[in-house]
Chains A and B, each alone.
Chain A
Amino acid sequence: MYGGGNIFEATKFDDLATEDPVKLAEFEARIARGEKIEPNDWMPELYRKQLIRMIEQHAHSEIIGALPEGTWITRAPGFRRKMAQMAKVQDEVGHGQLLYSAAETLGKSREAMLTDLINGKSKYSNVFNYPAVTWADSNIISWLIDAGAIVNQMANAKGSYGPYCRALDRICAEEAFHLKYGHDAVVHMATGSPKQREMIQAALNRWWPPIMTFFGPSDKMSTHTETLVRWKVKMATNDECRQQFLDMYVPKIWELGLTVPDPKLHKNADGVWEYTEPDWVEFKEVINGNGPCNKERLAVRRTAEEKGAWVRRALLAPKKEAKYIKPLA
């Protein structure tokens, strides 16, 4: 589950100065013709760098995103939810695996990416630094965060880098099920007992501000990404994704009798949604490590890496000589 938007370094004027102009022109022409770039094809260093950055952050978002919902697997109410929650979170970890493989085709190993994650050098989707306080929070994540991820990932699946696009096609197919699962769970809560309705509204209130930041800062604050747009690395602007999300899901939220905690939220006559500008100062603070769960999420990941290191070492080790087995013994 990944919303992107906050991930690109600003490109500088002289980034391409060292690239071969003939190869660069051919590369750009291929992308303009709608061709996919494959791992062994020539590509500018900036393209490689930004793609590693994007795919790696997407992969991290999947495995860190598994944590807030993962804590509810053991507490999911009833067989149906327990099994679905397990399957859903397992899918997310599987997406991580797919995406690390896609990023590895660009020359950075999974181990190196995970090391950068643990060291805080590499980021992940900011929403996962917020806690899933109740079961209802987990339902809201499954529905609306996955919905947001689909908006972003469907756009990125039309991008230019072959391995990433193919991974996204598979991921989007699974996310579509998550969305149905999340929606079904929210419907049960929103149409259930007064206690359930109260739980789901409270969860929506908690999650709405992070959801609004999911696609990253507004376009007027974003760094210049013209080159990345031309190279089909960045496929839609943050505000375009946010508008699409609001357009698709706010009516569905209202349909359930839930209230979106933003008095300013409405759709203008020209079809554009207006909303209270998210708190981008808090957003920056949280990205930089000061959110409610940053430390906990990374600590969990670090523990998993450290405790599992012996398994990875053992699997890489040359096999010990097999024990001698006595004939006919």
Chain B
Amino acid sequence: MNTEALKDLLYKIADDQLILGHRNSEWTGFGPMLEEDIAFSSMAQDKLGHSLAFYKILHELGEAEPDTVAFTRNANQFHNCQLVELPIGEYDFSLIRHFLFDNAEILRFDMLTRSSYEPIAKVATKLKGEVKYHVLHANTMIKQLGSSTDEAIERLQNSLNEALPYALGIFEKSKFDNELIAEGIFEGEEKLQTQWLENIKKVLSQTHLELPDLNTITPKFGGRYGEHTEHLQPLLDEMAEVFSIDPTAEW
């Protein structure tokens, strides 16, 4: 088995979770209503937990401790898609991002439960149930708000248009994609994207939101190869603010 390919896969999954968890946690205390405030905080905790689980597998493969990996790398060493690093914006953007990302994530976790690499399959099986609730939350809110007031529909439509190029970046293939498929570790980004598209269409068709024609959109790629927007490094600096006072200290 190619360990480099495996690590690449693990890093992109873990980094997605860490960065989106961090962004979702920014809603704590600022939600549009207490219930959503709590929901985003709760999902943030799950995402953090998920990233930790994957960083632990990486550690077993010889990478540094999860705290070191998460709190000391620079932006160009991160493999997350650019979608997750964008600022939280207003609630409509955060909800759309959550909807687009978690509908992909549940499928990714589902695929990973069948991974030939057992530690991944185990973790995915254990955590899939939590992602299921994230999807349930996203789909419920999208269905409800997406067929409510003109104001809500307009906001969500704008955010959907804005987020979609970045969402397509979730499925940016790594140079190891074919190898991972061949070894039965991961079924590949293309298959993932096809299923994802079907699922989000199903939800959007029950709303007044329109999915833009994907052929007219240029995906925002680069994240999987360490190319990021200007928003990631400040996020990482903030995350490391206390940790970097003394990285050897026990906090």
**Which residues in A have some Cβ–Cβ distance to B below 8 Å?**
63, 66-67, 70, 72-79, 81-83, 86-87, 89-90, 93-94, 96-97, 100, 135, 185, 188-189, 192-193, 195-196, 300, 303-304, 307-315, 317, 319-320, 322-323, 325
- Check A70–B29 contact: CB distance below 8 A: yes
The answer on a CB contact under 8 Å between A79 and B67 is yes
Listed from nearest, the 9 A-B pairs whose CB atoms lie closest are: A308-B32, A90-B41, A314-B152, A311-B32, A314-B148, A77-B251, A77-B243, A77-B242, A70-B29
Of A86, A96, A317, the contact of B149 (CB 8 Å cutoff): A317
Of A96, A192, A315, the contact of B34 (CB 8 Å cutoff): A96
A96 to B71, CA, bound (A): 32
The interface of chain B, by Cβ under 8 A from chain A, is 22, 25-26, 28-38, 41-42, 44-45, 48-49, 52, 66-67, 70-71, 90-91, 144-145, 147-149, 151-153, 155, 205-208, 235, 238-239, 241-243, 245-246, 249-251
* Chain B residue contacts of A315, Cβ below 8 A: 144-145, 148
Q: List 23 A-B contacts (CB under 8 A).
A: A75-B238, A75-B239, A77-B71, A77-B243, A78-B243, A86-B25, A87-B41, A87-B45, A96-B34, A188-B250, A196-B246, A304-B31, A307-B32, A307-B90, A308-B91, A311-B32, A313-B152, A314-B144, A314-B145, A314-B148, A317-B149, A323-B205, A323-B206
In the complex, what residue of chain A is closest to B45 when comparing beta carbons? A86
Residue in A86, A195, A303 whose beta carbon sits within 8 Å of that of B44 in the complex: A86
Q: Chain A's interface: helix, strand, loop or mixed, by majority?
A: helix
B250 to chain A, nearest CB (A): 5
CA distance A79 to B50 in the complex (A): 11
| Chain B residues in 8 Å Cβ range of A310 | 32, 149, 151-152, 155
A308/B33 contact (C-beta < 8 A), A77-B243, A79-B66 known: yes
State A192–B242 Cα separation when bound (angstroms). 14
B52 contacts which chain A residues (CB < 8 A)?
A: 79, 83
- Which residue of A is nearest B40, CB measured? A90
Q: Enumerate chain B residues within 8 angstroms of A313, measured Cβ to Cβ.
A: 149, 151-152
Taking A320-B208, A323-B207 as contacts, is the C-beta distance between A308 and B238 under 8 angstroms? no
Closest to A135 in B: B242
Q: Are B147 and A322 in contact (CB under 8 A)?
A: yes
- Min CB distance B98 to A, Å, is 14
The reply to whether B32 and A320 form a contact with Cβ atoms under 8 Å apart is: no
Q: Which residue of chain B is the closest to A78 with respect to CB atoms? A: B67
Provide the bound-state CA to CA distance between A320 and B41, in Å. 30
Instruction: Given A74-B238, A97-B38, A192-B250, verify A86-B205 contact (CB < 8 Å).
Output: no
Query: Quick one: closest B residue to A75, CB to CB?
Result: B241
How distant is the Cα of A87 from the Cα of B32 in the complex, in angstroms? 19
Complexed CA–CA distance, A76 and B70 (Å):
12
Which residues of chain B have C-beta atoms less than 8 A from A319's C-beta?
144, 147-148
